[in-house]
Amino acid sequence: MSMQDPIADMLTCIRNAQMMGIQEICVPYSHVKSNILGVLKDEGFIEDYQMLESDNKKDLRVSLKYYQGRAVIEKIKRISKPSLRVYRGYDDLPLIRGGLGITIVSTPKGVMSDKAARAQKLGGEVLCAVE
């Protein structure tokens, strides 16, 4: 059985692991997932991530971040889905918690946070929201 939405699967793995207090998770590799994790690391929502390769199979190991025993990521939600794509211009990108959270946007110049997309005046597909 093929997976319909691998990005949503990765976000669900992160959400479930943080509810259980797990420090590291492994998810199957894809270029888009790697870019999303790069944005999460740059914005301070995860500690680190790295690509592992074994037996011709690539995985991403994600080190989750906790502060005073609580997960840094309170909510992580998929917005644009394969069944319903959501595109926004740079001036219509949603603000999460008044700018305390981020939305991750896939733009023509790559995957970036909503703040970076607004600064470069780029719109695109709104992938997910993180609080």
The CATH code that applies to domain 6-130 is 3.30.1370.30
pLDDT at 123 over 50: yes
Alpha-carbon span 16 to 20, nearest angstrom: 6
Q: Which residues contact 68 (CB under 8 A, 6 or more apart)?
A: none
pTM attached to this predicted model: 0.95
Span 67-119, pLDDT tens digits: 999 999 999 999 999 999 999 999 999 999 888 999 999 999 999 999 999 99
**CB neighbours (10 Å) of residue 77?**
14
- Going by the DSSP 8-state scheme, the letter that residue 93 receives in this structure is P
| Residue 114 one-letter amino acid | D
